[in-house]
Amino acid sequence: MRAHLGDRLVVESPATGVVRRDGEIVGLRHDDGTPPYDVRWSDTDDITLVFPGPDAHIQHLDTEHGHADAADVPFPPAATGPVPEELNPGDIGRRLALERRRQGLSREETARRARISPQYLAYLEEQSADPSMATLLTLAAALGTTVTALRGAGVDLPPGQGHALLRPQLRDLGPEECRRLLSTHGVGRIAVTASGGHPAVVPVNYEVVDDEIVFRTKPGSVPAAAAGTEVAFEVDHVDEAMSRGWSVLAVGPASVVTEPDTVRELTRRAHTDPWAGGKRDVWVAIRPTRVTGKRITPADR
């Protein structure tokens, strides 16, 4: 007996062939797909370790009636070797966790909405699991997004290609909400005047420290041109599935951080290395003198 993640384990009465219990295989203990399996039972949503007996068989995702033994189906090479990066099921877990945290939902609440167990959701977020389409549909509905988004399709397309709301409302955000949306760190865009006097807008990894927006760059780069000038810094988020979004704009003078102890502390507290890579040891700080924001919501909210 061999199985893939997402297959179903069916336990039948040996005398009548009536299904007594079934569940989704959510964990493999061996690379070749042989037992035992972690099974999420459909009647309880509990996940247990199962050593299938003679009254059990595997129902494959690509088998209509599910009575063929897995030994009759070639085991895919991906199960015994690295999963191609573009199909890495672990990416689904990271996107699930990010979308859940973005909406301020606990695992328990998300699991309740999707009608799955919190333990299974934790498994999906933390392991390289490949959930079934049915599970992805329920999770996408629970998070107000799409299966396409959870799978990472369209990541190279610019955001905002969906339809506008029927009755959108554009409202101003207060200073406190703007600061909350800026959060502690992320990726934003800085508008500067580059060499030759040409305007430029470039993305940077930023941190918020003591009401200042700080980022790392390298000498002579476009972001480094912000030092000694007044700049605009913007962050935003677009919810493609719900056709909603927000943006926050901070304006203020920028300067290079030169105090050695402060530089060391900023480097120590940084949440991530710059995505652009390379040596970027020049810290630039923006002290906002004005912070404004907008949010698009349905008119009845």
Most confident of 109-123, 128-142, 158-172: 109-123
Length of the chain as a residue count: 301
Residue 166, pLDDT above cutoff 80: no
Residue 164, pLDDT above cutoff 60: yes
pTM over 0.85: no
**Average pLDDT, whole number, for the chain?**
81
Residue 157 lies in a domain: no
Residue 111 lies in a domain: yes
User: Residues 109, 175: one domain?
Assistant: no
The first and second tokens of residue 155, run together, are 């990541």
User: Residues 73, 111: one domain?
Assistant: no
What is the domain extent for residue 60? 8-79
User: Residues 60, 108: one domain?
Assistant: no
Q: How far apart are CA 154 and CA 171, in angstroms?
A: 29
pLDDT per position as a tens digit, 42-86: 777 778 888 888 888 898 865 333 333 333 323 233 333 333 344
The CA dihedral of 288, 289, 294, 300, to the nearest 10 degrees, is: 120
Residue 250 lies in a domain: yes
User: Residues 219, 126: one domain?
Assistant: no
Q: How far apart are CA 214 and CA 252, in angstroms?
A: 12
Number of domains in the chain: 3
Residue 156 lies in a domain: no
The first and second tokens of residue 38, run together, are 């972690």
User: Residues 193, 135: one domain?
Assistant: no
Of 80-89, 151-160, 236-245, 247-256, minimum mean pLDDT range? 80-89
Q: Higher-confidence residue: 40 or 164?
A: 40
Residue 269 lies in a domain: yes
3-state secondary structure of 175: helix
Most confident of 49-63, 79-93, 132-146, 184-198: 184-198
Kindly report the CATH number assigned to the domain that includes residue 133: 1.10.260.40
Domain end among 101, 123, 151: 151
Residue 132 lies in a domain: yes
Residue 160 lies in a domain: no
Q: Higher-confidence residue: 187 or 20?
A: 187
User: Residues 176, 258: one domain?
Assistant: yes
The first and second tokens of residue 246, run together, are 């927000």
Q: How far apart are CA 187 and CA 93, in angstroms?
A: 21
Domain end among 104, 119, 151: 151
For a pLDDT cut of 90, what percent of the chain falls above it?
A: 32
Listed residue (260, 251, 246, 235) closest to 288, CA to CA: 251
Domain end among 53, 79, 105: 79
Q: How far apart are CA 275 and CA 284, in angstroms?
A: 16
User: Residues 192, 94: one domain?
Assistant: no
Q: How far apart are CA 102 and CA 100, in angstroms?
A: 5
User: Residues 140, 183: one domain?
Assistant: no
Of 97-101, 159-163, 205-209, minimum mean pLDDT range? 159-163
For a pLDDT cut of 70, what percent of the chain falls above it?
A: 82
- Mean pLDDT, residues 173-181 taken together: 93
Paired with 54 in beta bridges are none
> What pLDDT, on the 0 to 100 scale, is given for residue 136?
83
User: Residues 292, 175: one domain?
Assistant: yes
Non-local (6+) Cβ contacts of 253 within 8 A are 229, 230, 231, 286, 287, 289
Listed residue (212, 7, 229) closest to 130, CA to CA: 7
Most confident of 45-49, 80-84, 193-197, 293-297: 293-297
CA angle 235, 97, 180 (to 5 degrees): 35
User: Residues 42, 59: one domain?
Assistant: yes
CA distances from 153 to 43, 92, 146, 156 (A): 32, 11, 10, 8
First to last CA, the chain: 53
| DSSP per residue, 93-124 | HHHHHHHHHHTT--HHHHHHHHTS-HHHHHHH
Non-local (6+) Cβ contacts of 275 within 8 A are 187, 205
Kindly report the CATH number assigned to the domain that includes residue 16: 2.30.30
Residue 229 lies in a domain: yes
Kindly report the CATH number assigned to the domain that includes residue 232: 2.30.110.10
Residue 241, pLDDT above cutoff 50: yes
The first and second tokens of residue 207, run together, are 């941190």
User: Residues 206, 266: one domain?
Assistant: yes
- Mean pLDDT, residues 145-172 taken together: 74
Residue 215, pLDDT above cutoff 80: yes
User: Residues 185, 259: one domain?
Assistant: yes
